[in-house]
Structure 1
Amino acid sequence: MKAIVQERFGPPDTLRLADTDRPTAGAGQVLVRVHAAALNPYDWHMLRGDPYVARLMGGVGLTRPKRRVAGIDAAGRVEAVGADVHGLEPGDEVLGFCPGSFAEYALTTADLLVPKPVGLTFEQAAAVPMGAVTALRGIRTVGRTQAGQRVLVNGAAGGVGTFAVQIAAALGAEVTGVCSARNADLVAALGAAHVVDYAQEDFTDGRVRYDVILDNVGNRPLSRLRRALAPSGTLVANGGGSPGHVFGAVGSMLRLVAADAFARQRLRPILPSAPAGPSHEDLLAVIALIEAGTLTPVVDRTYSLADTAEGVRHVERGHARGKAVITVL
């Protein structure tokens, strides 16, 4: 099968298209024929082995990538199922978390897959798993957003932000989205009542205070974010794009937890969803919102499998409008 492989940590140029052996579904596993795979900040962090502390924690690999084929989000058709897999059959259209999704085939488990909504293309479906589940957790689970609350989403036009704006609006919140001027119309169309151009306004100046802030960017000091937060409000920090080669999101999350112990405000981290994190219930909740018509994936642009490196570069620059997706089939 064709796959994007990586032999060492480094920039996107270390990725190459190669022929590899097709995986075989063992007990409890599902083999998915990948039609499309989404790109996430998680992917370029894994590509670079960044932050370095993650290598010591065992999830990335110490001196080389733990997984030769990268990618997490995928949509496609079930090719084969192993023993003890129930509820899925070859030919079923699915989306979910499939480690090694930058390939024609990827292995996963049944609990990390859900049926693909009929109304979505495979490219739209691939854009869902990590971005939508992270947004759902940030807004609903961790943020505990209620109708009538003021909710601010920093990075509202990104992969998580476009989902978060829609989810918060569906819950009845008054949503403010922070983005660039070129994305203002998109964020407003997704349900934001107010849009802040970060180049012209500072949402942390304290003039408006929010019940919930979902920070997907990490470009404001914690003290400034708290200034924009209501006295009993909740700050949810998404570590998906946190900078810093040594500690990255780990360092900022630890600082947040330490500050929370002494604050009246709720200061909560949420790390990007990865195979060890999401639950089947999270995926089903997202699918229910999509099928109800209250959640729609935003696809920025698509790339061929051979152009995966260029797609990673685009996401790493931090200016993706919604999700970038690889079309595999």
Structure 2
Amino acid sequence: MSPTSHERTAPAVSPTAPRSPDLPSTMRAATRRRYGQPDRMAVETMPRPEPRPGEVLLRVGAAGLDRAILHLLTGEPLLARPAFGLVRPRQPILGQQVAGEVVAVGPGAGAYVVGQRVFGMGEASFAEFALAKPAQLAATPDGLSDADASTLGDSGITAWIAVVTRGQVQAGQRVLILGGSGAVGGYAVQLAAHRAAHVTAVCSAAKLDFVRDLGAHEAADYRTSTLADLAGPFDVIIDIGGNRPLAQLRSVLTQQGTLVIVGGEHGGRVFGGLHRNLMADVAHRFTSQRLGWMFAQTTTAELTELARLVTAGALRVPIDRRVGLAGVGEGLAAMQRGTLRGHVVVCPAVEPA
């Protein structure tokens, strides 16, 4: 994330650049000025950003919550603080997944035109307007709502990279997905099942039927089932936000199997789950198992393919709730509690009841 638009020293886009008429000079945004918990969130009126060269300005139709937002909210792990602000966040507006309409185009950002619907990754998207780079966007096809599209930029892309790019899941393989009911996990379960793999998903007891409905062939409660209880060994293990030791994961992985570590939430305030990533980097040099972690990079091509799968009915977008800007804290709190069945989508036009 970068500093807010009103902190930038770069010149604003020329008044002659393509833009919608009568854009307001201010906007409403969900903000937090200090690191902390969801109750830090507030709604402020602040200057509307202007696109710099290589950027487009979007009128936000919807912005999906993702797990990374919780880390940016709390400022943990502390190891990541230098990138976002040591003492307080440099960017007060959270949000990165986005779908909406292009309303202004900066110099050199001519891949999209004013009035076009797009989706993908943006900057500070929990607001009425947000900036984005064309390379991290795709055109929104007919039949795909902003709400559904807004969950694909990070959650969908992360699942795609884990299952398709890094996991290389093939038909007939046995795939274990730890954290199969969350925003990323729900897509991972569906993508693996779509590729004709046999999918086992681990989640809470309350969500076992939910992951089965998404396509998991077997589902297990993480509180009562050990890895040894599951129907392994597995050709591919995708660990999303898990806390299982690396040795336990390897014990249920085939000799030539692949482990993809997507995240980790239980490594302490300083390192978070990064210690397992480092251990995997070292261990994979001494085994025939493929052990590694991943970093999600959003591309137009992958966004387009995900949108195609959704519009074709091959992927579902389960949305737990839609909230307005004032409801961002509520959505983040539900994500913290682990009670969500699917996605939280922020719709700036939704006003609190």
TM-score, normalising length: structure 2 = 0.87
Flag the 1:322–1:105 CA change in 2: closer, same or farther, 3 A.
same
Match of 1:116 among 125, 134, 140: 140
Does the 8 Å CA contact 2:264/2:274 hold for their aligned counterparts?
no
Q: Tell me the equivalent position of 1:41.
A: 67
Q: Tell me the equivalent position of 2:246.
A: 222
Match of 2:334 among 300, 314, 319: 314
Q: Tell me the equivalent position of 2:4.
A: none
Distance 2:312 2:266 in 1: 33
Distance 2:266 2:129 in 1: 30
Counterpart of 1:15, as a letter, is M
Counterpart of 1:186, as a letter, is F
Flag the 1:292–1:26 CA change in 2: closer, same or farther, 3 A.
same
Q: Show CA shifts across 1:222-256 (max 9, x none).
A: 11111111111111111164542101132221122
Q: Tell me the equivalent position of 1:27.
A: 53
Matched, 1:208 2:228: no
Aligned to 2:270, the other structure's residue is in SS state coil
Match of 1:285 among 299, 305, 310: 305
Does the 8 Å CA contact 2:62/2:347 hold for their aligned counterparts?
yes
Distance 1:219 1:64 in 2: 28
Matched, 1:129 2:156: no
Distance 2:231 2:313 in 1: 34
Measure how far apart 1:207 and its partner are. 5.4
Distance 2:52 2:323 in 1: 31
Aligned residues: 323
Unaligned runs of 5+ in 2: 1-26
Counterpart of 1:53, as a letter, is L
Distance 2:265 2:110 in 1: 36
Q: Tell me the equivalent position of 2:109.
A: 85
Aligned to 2:248, the other structure's residue is in SS state helix
Matched, 1:172 2:182: no
Measure how far apart 1:86 and its partner are. 2.4
Distance 2:228 2:48 in 1: 50
Unaligned runs of 5+ in 1: none
Pairwise mapping of residues 243-322 of structure 1 onto structure 2 (< 5 A)? Answer: 243-271=267-295, 273=296, 277-322=297-342
Does the 8 Å CA contact 2:267/2:274 hold for their aligned counterparts?
no
Does the 8 Å CA contact 2:137/2:299 hold for their aligned counterparts?
no
Measure how far apart 1:184 and its partner are. 2.1
Distance 1:234 1:262 in 2: 14
Distance 2:98 2:267 in 1: 26
Question: Taking every aligned residue pair, what percent have the same amino acid on both sides?
Answer: 39
Which protein is bigger by CA-based radius of gyration? 2
Q: Show CA shifts across 1:272-312 (max 9, x none).
A: x3xxx322222223223223321121111122111211111
Distance 2:43 2:231 in 1: 51
Flag the 1:282–1:242 CA change in 2: closer, same or farther, 3 A.
farther
Does the 8 Å CA contact 2:179/2:242 hold for their aligned counterparts?
no
Distance 2:227 2:339 in 1: 19
Matched, 1:66 2:90: yes
Distance 1:252 1:325 in 2: 30
Match of 1:181 among 202, 205, 217: 205
Does the 8 Å CA contact 2:55/2:133 hold for their aligned counterparts?
yes
Q: Tell me the equivalent position of 2:163.
A: 139
Q: Tell me the equivalent position of 2:16.
A: none
Q: Show CA shifts across 1:165-203 (max 9, x none).
A: 111111121111112232222212222122222233223
Counterpart of 1:8, as a letter, is R
Distance 1:70 1:107 in 2: 12
Measure how far apart 1:205 and its partner are. 4.2
Aligned to 1:261, the other structure's residue is in SS state helix
Distance 2:78 2:215 in 1: 38
Q: Tell me the equivalent position of 2:10.
A: none
Q: Show CA shifts across 1:83-126 (max 9, x none).
A: 22223112211111011001000001111111223223222221
Larger RCO, structure (CA 8 Å, separation 6 or more) = 1
Aligned to 1:23, the other structure's residue is in SS state coil
TM-score, normalising length: structure 1 = 0.93
Distance 1:254 1:76 in 2: 38
Distance 2:228 2:249 in 1: 6
Counterpart of 1:228, as a letter, is V
Distance 1:137 1:242 in 2: 23
Does the 8 Å CA contact 1:158/1:319 hold for their aligned counterparts?
no
Does the 8 Å CA contact 2:264/2:272 hold for their aligned counterparts?
no
Q: Tell me the equivalent position of 1:55.
A: 81
Counterpart of 2:215, as a letter, is G
Dislocated runs of 4+, deviation >3 Å: 204-207, 240-243
